[in-house]
Structure 1
């Protein structure tokens, strides 16, 4: 069987959730089977992917031009048995000669458009429906994402298969010293959907009781950064709020391990890898009780209303001041994280691709 895959997100040096999904699944698929893979990219591949059963096709770096190039290549010049699109909608919407499997990451463009990049909202609203209709099978990264697809687009539930994600870190472990004091940690893109202004406000409420506490946010600046920057700039505790945009993958483990509590007040997630990463390392987690996050965290962390600053404050205070409570959630998180593995994700994905491509 010849399987074509759009791997652009997975070849990036610094990967967010989507990129990590592509990197782990594609690498696992290559190792798990002797099927031939045609990997469509816009950058060089990781060395681990350069195997005898892999053919590389590199297209333009401009995203929209790449979509046209990939569609023409698959449709007219290469015989594939199945095409897997982990993060893009345009090619799945256009293809006719090859069966398509499309992964569904989230529906933020439809549910929280004001917190998302305008270009992404426009493109997803144009291409999502035809991509969903044209795909033979859809892979949702959470039950919440599956239910969103059903509610928004009336998709047949039997067409959508849920394959959960997992936590992982690179083999290298490079130290990244954080300032002294109890560390409240966030990891993710610094954008409105992550609801970080309320985290800053809850942190301000905590400081009089825990004056040594530090708030550390790790991630790249995203869309509409001005509000968060203004909130931090006006905070009386701004000197204790640290924004780290230069963290390398090898340094993530070190940063997580220095945290006393991991806080993820996001308004919406398709899955939510950072809380799972924190749990896997025994860091107590406080997260929103919305969208997919209850699926990920379960009873192994404290779930709060993301719009309720006081709930966030109380949850953080509880973890930081009650050693027994912190240890309870540290142990529960470690145990829950073992239930999520990339091997499961890869095997479920491979079964779907083999079914559609046979």
Structure 2
């Protein structure tokens, strides 16, 4: 049996949500599919990955002898052009697409992971072209795939309600966490000088306390709401903390930058840009609170990343977040800056509440693992060990 996997998003630099999911699932499928011939399809971009042919290593993933890489050279519309042509010329028995888009030409046994329908619920956070493209792409992928994987029950319900997808085609498989897999990538040295770098001028964070957010700096993540809540904390509660934002700029970043610049506390707000796994781990670990009041998430992996290192979480009460966090975080209305601020202040000032949230978070993380996720993916593909 030949199994094809779309790895075009997995082995890139500065991975975020969907890319991290693709990487972790493929990494853990290595142990699940050792007895099968597997082809990983990559885009032509040598800057994104390094393959050690002798060691059979790519981005800290050791490939079995029966796994191979196939670089598809295609300038635009890679999935519908290049990957479809590859399926026609060199068909496989099973195709797994970890991120949304199924090629027009595909085997009967094709599975696709749909992560969320953010563009349907946060329309102002996407351009018109992005909304049209994503809507068409996901609808077609759901129609073509034999099996649809969603990363939460919330996304499953959204697909059924908005697109009328046959519920029997959908299998919910949660993303993973645990063992700090998400916070450790090739080349990281989390035990070296990361902690000292956090407190020096490179990161502009002195030896003081801070509230932390990590994720793409875009409208959907409610960064302006975080800034507003921080202003409430400064004005009403006089907290000594800084607000630290880590992540790549996203859609409508200009508005976020303007809100930060116009804040009375702009000097207390630190932007770090993208941070890698080991640095992210230290930033999460040393934060007093991780704040994540997003407007919509298909899953909400940063919540688990924070909980895995013993940091308390304030997050939203919408979309998949209550499903993932349960009672292990303080849930708030993302549209209410004062409610966000009050929840943060409660953790900062009530040691019992903070410790309770931390312990529940550590227990919550145990529900999720990439090993379990990969095993369930293998199972729904009807592939034996």
Q: Name the TM-score, length of structure 1 as normaliser.
A: 0.94
| 1:221 CA drift (Å) | 0.4
Q: Which SS does the other structure have where 2:198 is aligned?
A: coil
Structure with greater proportional helix content: 1
**Paired residues of 1:14 and 1:249 also in contact (CA < 8 A):** no
Unaligned runs of 5+ in 2: 50-57, 200-204
Match of 2:365 in 1: 337
- Answering whether residue 31 of structure 2 is matched by residue 31 of structure 1, we say yes
Distance 1:55 1:102 in 2: 21
> 320-329 or 243-252, which moves further after superposition?
243-252
User: Alpha-carbon deviation of 1:247?
Assistant: 1.7
Q: What corresponds to 2:213 in structure 1?
A: 186
Structure 2 SS opposite 1:243: strand
Determine whether 1:166 maps to 2:176: yes
Are 2:73 and 1:52 aligned?
no
- Paired residue for 2:92? 80
State how 1:1-358 maps to structure 2 within 5 Å: 1-33=1-33, 34-42=35-43, 43=45, 44=49, 45-60=58-73, 62-74=75-87, 76-91=88-103, 94-167=104-177, 168=181, 169-170=183-184, 172-173=189-190, 174=192, 175=194, 176-178=197-199, 179=205, 180-208=207-235, 209-354=237-382
**Alpha-carbon shift at residue 117 of structure 1 (Å):** 4.4
Compare 45-54 and 312-321 and name the one that shifted more. Answer: 45-54
Instruction: Between 61-70 and 305-314, report the one with greater CA deviation.
Output: 61-70
SS in 1 for 2:382: helix
What is the CA-CA distance between 1:6 and the residue it aligns to?
A: 0.7
Deviation of 1:279 after TM superposition, in Å, equals 0.8
* 1:158 CA drift (Å): 1.5
Decide which moves more: 48-57 or 247-256: 48-57
Distance 2:76 2:18 in 1: 16
Which of 199-208 and 263-272 deviates more?
A: 199-208
Please tell me whether the aligned partners of residues 94 and 107 of structure 2 are also in contact (alpha carbons under 8 angstroms): no
Q: Compare 324-333 and 112-121 and name the one that shifted more.
A: 112-121
Structure 1 SS opposite 2:353 = helix
Tell me how large the CA RMSD over aligned residues is.
Answer: 1.8
**118 and 46 in structure 1: CA distance in 2 versus 1, 3 angstrom threshold:** farther
SS at match of 1:84: strand
1:39/1:103 Cα in 2 relative to 1: closer, same or farther (>3 Å)?
same
Distance in structure 1 (CA, Å) of the matches to 2:22 and 2:123: 24
Structure 1 gaps, min length 5: none
User: Greater CA deviation, 45-54 or 3-12?
Assistant: 45-54
Between 167-176 and 79-88, the greater mean CA deviation after superposition: 167-176
TM-score between the two structures when normalised by the length of structure 2: 0.88
CA contact (8 A) 2:100 2:115 kept: no
> Offset at 1:308?
1.1
Q: What is the CA–CA distance in structure 2 between the aligned matches of 1:323 and 1:265, rounded to whole Å? A: 22
The count of corresponding residues between Structure 1 and Structure 2 is 354
**Structure 1 71/257 Cα, relative in aligned 2: closer, same or farther at 3 Å?**
same
User: Does the aligned pair in 1 maintain the 2:114–2:138 contact within 8 Å?
Assistant: no
Deviations 1:79-117 (A, max 9, x none): 3111111114251xx125443111011111222222124
Deviations 1:175-230 (A, max 9, x none): 14142332111110000000111110110111142342110111000111111111
**Contact conserved, 1:194 with 1:267, CA < 8 A, in 2?**
yes
Residues 102 and 138 in structure 1, CA contact (< 8 A), matched pair in contact too: yes
Cα deviation for residue 64 of structure 1 reads: 1.2
Query: By how many angstroms is 1:352 displaced?
Result: 0.9
* DSSP-derived class of the 1:8 partner: coil
SS in 2 for 1:354: coil
Query: Secondary structure at 1:207's aligned position in 2?
Result: helix
Q: Verify the 8 A CA contact 1:288 1:306 in the aligned structure 2.
A: yes
> 1:278-301: per-residue Cα shift (whole Å, max 9, x none)?
011111100000001111110011
C-alpha contact (below 8 Å) 1:30/1:37 kept by paired residues: no
Distance in 2 (CA, whole Å) between partners of 1:88 and 1:154 is 17
